[in-house]
Amino acid sequence: MSTNPGPEHLSDRPRWLCRVCGHPWPCTDARATLLREYRAFPSLLRIYLSAQMYHAMEDLTAGGDGPPPNLYERFLAWTRTHPPH
């Protein structure tokens, strides 16, 4: 359950775009929400996002395309540069 008012910025599988704003998920709003929700458990945030990255790779390569080159940056790198407080 989110404490964030307004619509939740969730992923739209298999395209992995935000259902609200249409940006690649996790979008800026989703990242902010995830940082708040996992602030006491940063390692669990990284585990959760690692699993989501794996699912995204499966979905985005299902048509025979190679994986997008920025999946690590999109799903995990930002958790290191914005540690939960």
pLDDT mean over 41-48: 96
Question: How far is it, in rounded angstroms, from Cα 54 to Cα 41?
Answer: 20
Encode pLDDT of 5-19 as tens digits. 679 999 999 999 999
Q: How many CB atoms lie within 10 A of CB 23?
A: 13
Q: Are 23 and 17 in contact (CB under 8 A)?
A: yes
Q: Are 84 and 38 in contact (CB under 8 A)?
A: yes
Q: Is the pLDDT of residue 84 over 70?
A: no
How confident is residue 1, by pLDDT bands cut at 50, 70 and 90?
very low
* pTM for the full predicted model: 0.85
E strand or H helix at 12: strand 11-12
How confident is residue 82, by pLDDT bands cut at 50, 70 and 90?
low
Report CA Rg, the chain.
13
